[in-house]
Amino acid sequence: MPQTDEYVLTGGRVLLPDGRLEPGTVHVRAGLIAGVGPVDGAGPGVERIDLDGRIVAPGFVDTHVHGGLGHNVMSADEPALRAIGRRLRVAGVTSFVATTASVPFDRILHSVRGLAGLLGPTGAGGADLVGIHLEGPFLSPDFRGVHQREQLVEPEPERIGALLDAAGGALRVCTIAPELPHAESAVRRLAQAGVRVSVGHTAATFEQARAAIGWGARRATHLFNAMPPIHHRSPGPVPALLADASVYLEIVADGLHVAPELIAALAALPGVRDRLMLVSDGTDVSGLPDGDHHRWEGTPVRLTGGRAFTSSGGIAGSTSTLADGVRVLLAAGVPLPVALNAAARNPARSLGLTDRGAVVIGRRADLVVLDDEAAISLTIMHGQWELP
């Protein structure tokens, strides 16, 4: 571990913003990237760390995290966020968005207020909490997944106003089913406030999804999951979301939610690969041993082989990490730079985070060092090291 706030990562390969992996060095000083290039330009006396051929990439950005290790972000509890943030960072995540569930609306407001006061480093070296993703309660009853039907409500103007007031600018993403009453006014108001509206948990038709994009929606919540499948005579929302270059696309790449070969096919399309975003959708039971558990909102789940299922056998969120997702993509034949960009650059761009997400001079030194199989050696956040 470096003994100063200035050092050089040398002897490795660097993931450049254009997607190339090139031999080079990264110079870190005072928490920022001070130099990137084929030649070590740092002066004498600066500590050098030999990477032995490993890769330097941007730190991962997970825009859909519910919890982990028995903790849920909706507790808005600082020790819980610390435990979640530490687990994420060890897995290469340097920034994340705390994602809610569908519970009584007053509890949502309470959680949002609490989370808004916890933005920033999650303590003890944990990943940065950069905002809130409201997933529920503005969802389709028919595509609610594990969200409780009785907690689903319409995005009426007074509810949207209350959420924006409670968040105080911390609301980064809001999932809405665009076919719901009041959806148009809600999407327009949220987009105007700088919130990234995400189409998800929806029964929307192609036309309704395309209309939502016109209103200002710019994301898809776990594409393919909790929405109608594509049919050649009734295409549904997926083709509309894929076709629009302004829409970023969440993908849960745990080998269960979406077939890896389908993700690989999307990653091969030039107009789509730069919009694919790996998300963990990690729930509070992530990292717990196999067996019966209850999620924070009361949903009973069973962990089998590290995967979470409802009592009826349905998928109950994910327990994987973004590093797991990168490895799933690699096994499906996706080039490593494309997989790494889906874990770092693309989600950072989707949130408008211009100070991270790329190995570029002047950006935060939020970096991950890993090998060609995506085994992580260390995570660097604002220049500080964390060994896995």
Assigned domain for 296 exists? yes
CATH value at residue 191: 3.20.20.140
Binding-site positions read 135, 146, 201, 222, 225-226, 233, 257, 315-317
Q: Residue 207 above 80 pLDDT? A: yes
What number is the average pLDDT over the span 230-245? Answer: 97
Residues 52 and 87 occupy one common structural domain: no
Assigned domain for 178 exists? yes
What is the model's pLDDT at position 387? 65
Q: How confident is the model at residue 145 (pLDDT cuts 50, 70, 90)?
A: confident
Q: What is the pLDDT of residues 36-67, one digit of tens each?
A: 998 887 788 889 999 999 999 999 999 999 99
Contacts of 332 (CB under 8 A, 6+ apart): 260, 261, 263, 264
Q: Residue 386 above 80 pLDDT? A: no
Assigned domain for 355 exists? no
Assigned domain for 306 exists? yes
Assigned domain for 216 exists? yes
Residues 284 and 195 occupy one common structural domain: yes
Q: Residue 140 above 90 pLDDT? A: yes
Query: How far is residue 287's CA from residue 223's CA, in Å, rounded to a whole number?
Result: 24
Catalytic residue annotation: 281
Residues 308 and 369 occupy one common structural domain: no
Residues 115 and 146 occupy one common structural domain: yes
Q: Residue 77 above 70 pLDDT? A: yes
What number is the average pLDDT over the span 91-112? Answer: 96
Assigned domain for 302 exists? yes
Q: How confident is the model at residue 349 (pLDDT cuts 50, 70, 90)?
A: very high
Q: What is the pLDDT of residues 251-267, one digit of tens each?
A: 999 998 999 999 999 99
Assigned domain for 68 exists? yes
Residues 27 and 172 occupy one common structural domain: no
What is the model's pLDDT at position 79? 93
Q: Which has the higher per-residue pLDDT, 2 or 236?
A: 236
Q: Residue 94 above 70 pLDDT? A: yes
- Give residue for tokens 């994987």: 320
What is the model's pLDDT at position 388? 62
Residues 52 and 78 occupy one common structural domain: no
Assigned domain for 163 exists? yes
Residues 47 and 65 occupy one common structural domain: no
Q: How many domains does the chain have?
A: 2
Q: Kindly state the tokens that stand for 204.
A: 């929307």
Residues 152 and 19 occupy one common structural domain: no
Q: Kindly state the tokens that stand for 273.
A: 């690969």
Q: How confident is the model at residue 201 (pLDDT cuts 50, 70, 90)?
A: very high
Beta-strand ranges (E) seen in 54-136 are 55-58, 60-65, 67-68, 71-72, 93-99, 120-121, 128-135
Q: How confident is the model at residue 311 (pLDDT cuts 50, 70, 90)?
A: confident
Q: How confident is the model at residue 385 (pLDDT cuts 50, 70, 90)?
A: confident
Q: How confident is the model at residue 104 (pLDDT cuts 50, 70, 90)?
A: very high
Query: How far is residue 201's CA from residue 219's CA, in Å, rounded to a whole number?
Result: 12
Residues 41 and 70 occupy one common structural domain: no
Q: Which has the higher per-residue pLDDT, 44 or 182?
A: 182
Q: What's the whole-number average pLDDT of the chain?
A: 94
Q: Which has the higher per-residue pLDDT, 288 or 296?
A: 288
End-to-end CA distance of the chain: 13
Query: How far is residue 385's CA from residue 388's CA, in Å, rounded to a whole number?
Result: 10
DSSP one-letter code for 318 = B
CATH value at residue 30: 2.30.40.10
What is the model's pLDDT at position 58? 98
Q: Which domain holds residue 122?
A: 60-350
Closest residue by Cα to residue 226 from 246, 213, 241? 241
Residues 201 and 255 occupy one common structural domain: yes
pTM score of the predicted model: 0.95
Residues 94 and 135 occupy one common structural domain: yes
Residues 30 and 65 occupy one common structural domain: no
Q: Residue 152 above 70 pLDDT? A: yes
What number is the average pLDDT over the span 191-207? Answer: 98
Q: What is the DSSP string of 114-172?
A: HHHTT-EE-STTPPEEEEEEEE-SS--GGG-TTS-GGG-----HHHHHHHHHHHTT-EE
Q: How confident is the model at residue 287 (pLDDT cuts 50, 70, 90)?
A: confident
